[in-house]
Structure 1
Amino acid sequence: MGLAMATLTVLQALQSLYHDPEPAGKRKANDWLQEFQHSIEAWQTCHTLLTSPASPLEGRLFAAQTIRAKILYDLPQLPRDQLPPLRDSILTSLAPLAGTSAPTGSRAILIQLCLALADLALQMPEWSDIVGGMIERFGKDPATVNILLGFLKALVEEVGNPRLVVSDMDSMISSSAEPVIGVLNMYIQAPGITPAIQAAVFDTLRSWLQGGEVMASRVASTPLFPALFDALPSDQLFDSAVDCLCDLIHETQEVQENVDVIQNIVPRIVALQSQLEEHKDDPDRIRGYCRIVCEAGETYKNLIISHIDSLLPLVQAIAACAAYPDLDIVPITFSFWYGLATALGRQHPDNQSTRPLLDIFSNLQSVIIGHLHFPADNEQQTAQERDEFRTFRHRMGDTLKDCCHVLGATTCLRKSYDLVQAAMARGSPTWQELEAPLFSMRSMGGEVNPDDDEILPHIMDMLPNLPDHPRIRYAAILVISRYTQWIDRHPSNIAFQLQYISLGFHMAEEEVSAAAAQAMKFMCQDCSRHLIPFLPQLHDFVATVGDKLDQPDMIEVCEAIGYIIDGMPPDQAAPALQQFCQPLLERVQAVAAATTPLDKPELQKAADALEQINAFLRVVRTINRLPESCYPTALAVYQVLDSLLQKYSKLYFMSDRIGSVLRRGLLFFPPQALEPVLAPLLERMVSCFELTEYATFLWIAGKVASKFGDLTRGPGGEVLAGLLVRTFESMTTQLSVVLNGKTAVEIPDVMEDFVHTFIAYITFLPHATLSSPLLHLAVSHTLAALSCPAPETNLVCLDALAILSKRLGEQAFQSTLQPIFAQYGKAIVALLIQGMVADFVEDGLDQVQTVLAATVVCAPAQEVDGWVVEAVGGIAGHIVPLAEKQRFLEGVRAHLSAPSGSPQLKRSVNDLVRAAKRARERGREARQSIPTR
């Protein structure tokens, strides 16, 4: 393609990328442009676009970005003797971007070219005196200072770029630090310096500080140091000065090495305290000052503890920021409080040396509780505002824990308790006045000793006296839920607390009911040994209130009671579980036995009952040494579920819940109890899958294989194995029917559960399954599932293929599996290679290598070579460059000719994955660098 034609084609692709109304056109243009960026022709084409006065902004910016990307990734494409002309070309292109007469969009182009030049400099050891030469070329004319500063900033930032392989560049950068400081000093003192240049000086200084090339002590000895503080009153310079000061402070964290600097910094920072009051109506200013004082506080936290008197004003300034009403600013202080509390540790209240800090932490608790108050017009907030505030409250709860860490949890709990008592004593308190300290009690729960006897008994006694407001009841119930471990050690009030929680279910507000369900769950989980006598009361509660609760709340109640039952002896647990589940089962049985069709609400009640049974079984799981008297229950329950499936299996919400209970039942009962169920269960799973195509029935078949697979090796095992494998074959055949009308991508849940089931069979019944005449079909379905763009499904499929690959190495299975791998080798290779460069997560790479290694030895080398050539050829150039594809192909060929055990294939797979990753990163950077409309 000629140069002029190439330039025109790039411009046409950019026009399509930005202006084509059709997404397909944009995608095509984007793919072409990314592939073009890999080509050798892109060097000259982009030079033409960049230097031509007729090039549009989009063309020039794309050219600058591409040159930068090619220097970063493709520099080996150029002979070394072409690097100086490339450098000179970029330097020439930079000149028109200087000054006020620069064309529109020049800043974005300038940034890309400065990065390109920096990346080139770091890979050109033959380019001597880089910084001095740039200062000489661009540093004398005020109009070109922005170019010099942009380059110096890019240079130090790119030293840490992991994509660059630099040799002996650290010494070049370090030796350049002094000239850089010199030129920055010169500019900052220059008469008539513009705010834009001054801000650029600060930004460049910041980059050299962050890079560790300029020491804070050096800056403190120059005019740059006072200039940073002097710039704070300027609206134009404020943000740049704040950013640079924060980094300067951070670089003094090695305190012993920076004592002199810190002595200069701290008085200036302390002096900023007056600015907090002066600018209290300007949140942006307060945010900047807050960042400075908090950075200083975090950096000097140990100095604060050892020099409390002199540094107390710094802590007071941070405390003032924490008390600021703008809740976007308050969190800036949180890291400081955590660091100071950790360094300070638990302090005795009589320790006079730390008393000032303890007073600040005590006041901080009051401030945070004040911030916890919901606004008076809470109902006027949008849903998003309410969610954000709730999230913020939990973050503030962490700072309350910091207060506990220093002051002691008992002291902090007492303050919260006193706030509630004081509000009650004033009469007619707002709900916010009570809810906020209650929330704080809940937040501090993790710091409280479960054996505390000082303040928690008073708090528990206080709860029944609180106003019966839903928000207060909600907060109080959650206080109980947070202290259930304490309640377990102090069980005398369990009866009241259980009643208090139960009353929450009677409130109309869903939030209160949800809190009550959560509290009930925690109470039963932590206090199960004390709640066994209350099971009759809980049974009555469920019987009278259960139908009135929302299903999510009822599920939590069932789980809660399950914890009590789970802690009981087997001979008591089994009848207790039956007592709670029997009414639910009867509700299901009534629906199953109905002779006339039922409407959705009636069926939903049965589905809810099944979900509640599942909740009990999810917690109890199984009862060790289940009494044999319970064995007949398995058949009785199954018959109810089977009758329900016979009528309503096509209703997904019914099948899904029945499937969950069946799965729990398979876990709950021992194999002996399930023997009468096994054959009819498998028959029903097959017929339901044929009727509905729901994944649930595949899932159950896999669970049965996992449960009974080991028994196929015992007496009568052949009959059992035959029953299990016939089930698998029937479902495999039916899935073929399903896939005749749908693609795998349309039914990802079915495909994934089929592969899970396949894994269960080849793991627990390998001989019976791998000798099945339908094995090839199961592998075909697994490969179809591998095409689904879902990481979880991909991993499951790779696991299945890896198991088969390992079985291939066993003598007993070679004659069966070798033809399978030969038959599907081409598809396996194509899917693996495509997945490696696209969808597969890193966790699957070991399986990919295992499967690929097994596949390539199951067919003649020439045939395998053709598979790989075709698969690699189907990968677009912007996904993996041509050279990397060729390298992978050569690696596979080397593996095929290498002796067994060669690591060549593993290296080639890893190299291909890395190449695809680099190309993705490069494409991502390209999309970020090119402005979108």
Structure 2
Amino acid sequence: MSLSQSTSIVLAALQALYHDPDAAAKKKANEWLQEFQHSVEAWQTCHDLLTSPETSLEGRLFSAQTLRAKIVYDLSQLPRIQLVPLRDSILTSLPALTSPSAPQGSRAVVLQLCLALADLAIQMPEWQDPARQMIENYGKDPGTVGVLLGFLKSLVEEAGNGKIPLNEDGKDHLANLMSTSAKQVLDVLVMYIQAPGLTPQIQSTIFDTLRSWVVGGELPAFEVATTPLFPATFEALASDQLFDSAVDVLCDLINETQEIQDNVEVIQQIIPRLIALGPQLDIHQEDGDRIRGYCRIFCEAGECYKDLIAKHPSDLLPLVQAISKCAAYPDLDIVPITFQFWYQLATTLGRQPTDPALQPILDIYSELQKIIIRHLSFPSDDEGQTSQEKEEFRYFRHRMGDTLKDCCHLLGAPTCLRVSLNLVLSALSSPSPQWQEIEAPLFSMRSMGAEVDPDDDEVLPHIMELLPRLPDHPRIRYAAILVLSRYTQWIDRHPQNLEFQLQYISSGFQMPEDEVQAAAAQAMKFMCQDCGSHLVPFLPQLHDFVTQMRDRLDQADLLEVCEAIGHVIERMEPEQAAGILQQFCQPLLARVQVVAMTTESVGKPELTKAADALEQIDAFLNVVGTLTPLPQSCLSTPTAVYAVLDALLARHAQIYYISERTGYVLRRGLTFFPTTALEPVLQPMLERMTLAFEQSGYPSYVWIVGKSAAKFANAARGSSPHALGVAGLLGGALERVTLQVGKMLTSKTAVEIPDVIEDYLHCFLSYLNFLPPLTLSSPILHLSLSHTLSALTCPSTPIISVALDVLSILSENQHEPQLPPIFRQYGKALLGLCLTGLLQDFPEGSTNAVQGVVNAVCAASENAEVESWATEAVGGVAGWMLPLSDKEVFLRDLHEYLLQGKTGDKLKNAIVQMLRASRRAKERGRQARKSLGG
């Protein structure tokens, strides 16, 4: 292919990528360009495109980016003798891109070329003193200073680029390059910062370059502090154009001085200048952007110098006061910048320090609590907020709650709780308090709960006594109920007001607001979890409450209530618990039975109520789990309950939500009851599950078949007639669901029925784990493997993961009589799906599973077959995902493994190396898209 042909094809692909409206054409062009970037011819083609005056900006940018990527990843493609011409060609292309007539957007090309030169310098010891050469070539003309600074910035940033391959000699060269360049960089930056006619644009670039060298660890802060750059950075804060750059530099300089003992002299210069900035917060109080910048500087210093604050609190008090002012600023985007400082300083000072010198700091934290509570207050016009604004504010409130915990840590929880309590009392004493004045301190009480001792008798009793006096406003009731939910551990140790508190929570269900009912459900759950032993006497009232509220509460809230009561039941003795559980669940089962026994048409409302009742039964059983020992009176329950469920499914198995809810209860039943109590229902249950699946295709039925295999595995082992009978039932169920999945896959792809595929895989995996002899000898084993291969086509990590688990078990059992023919029968598909999947979208940690599959296929098949299948598999992988050279390496290693008798680590190493090569190629593509803004 001639050069003109190559450049034309690249330009045509770029035209399609950026301008073709057809998404498929864009995708094809993108993949071709990524593959082209790996080729040897890309070096010359990109040079031609870069230096041709006719090349579009898109072509130049692509060429510059490609050269940069090839210098990082593919420099070994070039003989060393060609590195100097490569460098010179890049240098030659720069002047046209920096001239006044350069097209708009050329700066992006220059950036890529600066990166390319930096990456080349790092790998090219032959290029002696690149920083000095660039300074001499580009440092004298104001028009090219940007190129120089761009290169110097790139040089130190690319020094940390782990993608650049360096051996020990290369690492030594890099260390020498950085140390020799650092002094030159500092000198040139000092020269420019003092140059007459310095423009804000160049000064900003100076700051950016300085930051990179400071952050890169090559310019210590103490060296910078001895130069005019140090005062110039503080002075630049007065400039609107330079303010943001100056803030960034100062934050990085301060961060580099956090090793206090090594930077005492620099810190002694920084702190007075910081304190002198304090008045700027008042001067610019109307300028949120300025306040944000100063806040960043102060907080960076506070976090780095927290130990100094602890040792010299009076000297650094102005810094803490400045951060406090930032925390009080009304812009809620600025306030969170201070949060990390408050946390770190509180941790440094410890719990309730007694040093009198720290009292001014403690006073600031005391005021901080009030500041945070003011920020917690909902705006008076919050109904005018958008839903997104409301959600953001709720999230912000929870973040502020963490800072309240920092106040508690330092001041003590009783002190902070008392502040919040007094704020509520103060609001209640006013003639017409706003609800926000009460709700915010209530929220703060809830936020500080983690810091409060459950044995506290100092403040919490007063808070609990306060509840009856609160206005009956929904927002206040919501906050108060959540306060109760936060302090249920305290209530457990102080149960004297439990009856009122339970009533207070229950009354929340009477309010029409959904969020109040949700809070009440949550509080009820925590109350029952933490105070369960105290609530046993209240079970009759709870039963009456549930009975009254069942048709009035939202199902989600009702489920929380059921779970809550379940926590009380699980604290009881088994015999007593069984009776109470039946008392709560029997009315629910009766609802289901009415629908199950109705022979005429049943409407959706009645079906929904039956499904809800099943879900509520599930909620009870989910918490209780089982009763040990199970009372004798419960042994006949499975037969009675299953009769109702079977009757329901006989009429309504093809209603999806009925199938799901019934599956939940069956699963809980398999956990709750022992095998002996369940055996009478095994045969009808498996018959119903398989029949219902054949009729509906709903996966919940397959799910229960798998759970049954796990439950009855022990009963199916052995050669007794009873064991053989159980094994026959389980084996027959697996065969029927496997055949049905096969029928479904004749008309639909696995991608179209992912829920069925996933539950089938879990079912099959359960059989493999609990009943391996039965499963591995099954006549439908080959079909189960086929379904597993179909699952690998689903773009779902959970499905792929369980499919690989199945394949791993089959690979480990590859010597079982059936498996070698099956592995050979499906060998081509196995290699194709597993090798391409590993390179494309398999989850992390799939290597061992794939290795096991490939090994099993190799063991079962002829060498020529394996090589043919593998060649086709990796050959179908795009070159940008796995370059041709790496495909050849893998196939060569596979060939050697087969010739060596299919033993040793050669196969494992080949797969690992191929995967690493693919990751490098994909990372290269990501970096390419990132550098091009894609």
Residue identity opposite 2:270 in structure 1: I
Structure 2 residue aligned with 1:800: 806
Residue 900 of structure 1: how far off its partner (Å)? 5.9
Structure 2 residue aligned with 1:919: 921
Structure 2 unmatched ranges of 5 or more: none
Residue 170 of structure 1: how far off its partner (Å)? 1.5
2:831 corresponds, among 793, 807, 829, to 829
State the distance in 2 between where 1:777 and 1:595 align: 39
Residue 250 of structure 1: how far off its partner (Å)? 0.5
Report matched runs for 1:174-323 at 5 Å: 174-323=179-328
SS of aligned partner of 1:547 = coil
Residue 99 of structure 1: how far off its partner (Å)? 5.1
Residue 898 of structure 1: how far off its partner (Å)? 3.0
Structure 1 residue aligned with 2:42: 42
Residue 540 of structure 1: how far off its partner (Å)? 0.3
Structure 1 residue aligned with 2:564: 560
1:170 corresponds, among 167, 172, 175, to 175
Residue 351 of structure 1: how far off its partner (Å)? 3.5
Residue 19 of structure 1: how far off its partner (Å)? 1.3
Residue 913 of structure 1: how far off its partner (Å)? 1.5
Structure 2 residue aligned with 1:497: 501
Residue 31 of structure 1: how far off its partner (Å)? 1.0
Structure 2 residue aligned with 1:81: 81
- Does the CA-based 8 Å contact 1:118-1:158 persist in structure 2? yes
Q: 1:331-365, CA deviations, whole angstroms, 9 ceiling, x for partnerless residues?
A: 000010011000001124x6421100000000000
Matched, 1:734 2:736: no
Residue identity opposite 2:194 in structure 1: Q
SS of aligned partner of 1:808 = coil
State the distance in 1 between where 2:908 and 2:876 align: 21
Residue 401 of structure 1: how far off its partner (Å)? 0.4
Matched, 1:857 2:859: yes
- Does the CA-based 8 Å contact 2:307-2:348 persist in structure 1? yes
Residue 820 of structure 1: how far off its partner (Å)? 1.1
- Does the CA-based 8 Å contact 1:722-1:768 persist in structure 2? no
State the distance in 2 between where 1:22 and 1:684 align: 51
- Does the CA-based 8 Å contact 1:880-1:915 persist in structure 2? yes
Structure 2 residue aligned with 1:62: 62
State the distance in 1 between where 2:748 and 2:875 align: 28
Stretch deviating more after TM superposition (181-190 or 906-915): 906-915
Structure 1 residue aligned with 2:445: 441
Structure 2 residue aligned with 1:8: 8
State the distance in 1 between where 2:810 and 2:632 align: 40
Residue identity opposite 1:395 in structure 2: R
Structure 1 residue aligned with 2:425: 421
State the distance in 2 between where 1:732 and 1:399 align: 56
Stretch deviating more after TM superposition (793-802 or 850-859): 850-859
Stretch deviating more after TM superposition (895-904 or 266-275): 895-904
- Does the CA-based 8 Å contact 1:514-1:553 persist in structure 2? yes
SS of aligned partner of 2:227 = coil
Residue 710 of structure 1: how far off its partner (Å)? 1.9
Structure 2 residue aligned with 1:778: 784
Residue 696 of structure 1: how far off its partner (Å)? 0.7
Structure 1 unmatched ranges of 5 or more: none
State the distance in 2 between where 1:89 and 1:408 align: 68
Q: 1:380-427, CA deviations, whole angstroms, 9 ceiling, x for partnerless residues?
A: 000000000000000000000000110001110110001000111113
1:721 corresponds, among 727, 730, 747, to 727
- Does the CA-based 8 Å contact 2:288-2:331 persist in structure 1? yes
Residue 897 of structure 1: how far off its partner (Å)? 2.6
Closer, same or farther: CA 463–99 of 1 in aligned 2, 3 Å: farther
Matched, 1:537 2:541: yes
State the distance in 1 between where 2:926 and 2:653 align: 47
Q: 1:466-524, CA deviations, whole angstroms, 9 ceiling, x for partnerless residues?
A: 00000000000000000001111111111010000000000000000000000000000
Residue 47 of structure 1: how far off its partner (Å)? 1.0
SS of aligned partner of 1:232 = helix
Q: 1:152-208, CA deviations, whole angstroms, 9 ceiling, x for partnerless residues?
A: 000000011110123210221022111110000000000001111100100000000
Matched, 1:152 2:152: yes
Q: 1:777-796, CA deviations, whole angstroms, 9 ceiling, x for partnerless residues?
A: 11111111111111111110
- Does the CA-based 8 Å contact 2:314-2:357 persist in structure 1? no
Residue identity opposite 1:45 in structure 2: T
- Does the CA-based 8 Å contact 2:122-2:177 persist in structure 1? no
State the distance in 2 between where 1:773 and 1:293 align: 73
State the distance in 2 between where 1:459 and 1:894 align: 77
Matched, 1:617 2:625: no
Matched, 1:787 2:758: no
Residue 901 of structure 1: how far off its partner (Å)? 4.9
Structure 2 residue aligned with 1:838: 840
Residue 139 of structure 1: how far off its partner (Å)? 1.1
Report matched runs for 1:598-613 at 5 Å: 598-613=602-617
Residue identity opposite 1:879 in structure 2: M
Report matched runs for 1:740-779 at 5 Å: 740-779=746-785
Matched, 1:125 2:141: no
State the distance in 1 between where 2:459 and 2:65 align: 65
Aligned residues: 927
State the distance in 1 between where 2:156 and 2:394 align: 42
State the distance in 2 between where 1:70 and 1:351 align: 61
State the distance in 1 between where 2:576 and 2:297 align: 64
State the distance in 2 between where 1:930 and 1:147 align: 19
Residue 115 of structure 1: how far off its partner (Å)? 0.6
SS of aligned partner of 2:512 = coil
Matched, 1:463 2:444: no
Residue 132 of structure 1: how far off its partner (Å)? 1.1
Matched, 1:870 2:876: no
Q: 1:236-258, CA deviations, whole angstroms, 9 ceiling, x for partnerless residues?
A: 11111100110000000110111
Residue identity opposite 1:659 in structure 2: G
Residue 277 of structure 1: how far off its partner (Å)? 0.5
SS of aligned partner of 1:225 = helix
Residue 724 of structure 1: how far off its partner (Å)? 0.5
Report matched runs for 1:899-918 at 5 Å: 901-918=903-920
Residue 755 of structure 1: how far off its partner (Å)? 1.1
Matched, 1:114 2:114: yes
Report matched runs for 1:128-139 at 5 Å: 128-139=128-139
Structure 2 residue aligned with 1:97: 97
State the distance in 1 between where 2:911 and 2:526 align: 49
SS of aligned partner of 2:144 = helix
Normalised to the residue count of structure 1, the TM-score between the two structures is 0.98
Residue 15 of structure 1: how far off its partner (Å)? 1.2
- Does the CA-based 8 Å contact 2:521-2:561 persist in structure 1? yes
Q: 1:710-764, CA deviations, whole angstroms, 9 ceiling, x for partnerless residues?
A: 2212442111111110110111111111111101111111111111111111221
State the distance in 2 between where 1:14 and 1:376 align: 54
1:405 corresponds, among 409, 414, 434, to 409
Residue identity opposite 2:364 in structure 1: I
Residue 113 of structure 1: how far off its partner (Å)? 0.6
Stretch deviating more after TM superposition (504-513 or 835-844): 835-844
State the distance in 2 between where 1:186 and 1:594 align: 93
1:353 corresponds, among 354, 357, 371, to 357
Structure 2 residue aligned with 1:588: 592
Structure 1 residue aligned with 2:679: 675
State the distance in 2 between where 1:427 and 1:511 align: 28
Residue 888 of structure 1: how far off its partner (Å)? 1.1
2:349 corresponds, among 344, 349, 370, to 344
Percent of residue pairs identical: 62
State the distance in 2 between where 1:901 and 1:371 align: 68
Residue 899 of structure 1: how far off its partner (Å)? 5.3
Residue identity opposite 1:402 in structure 2: D
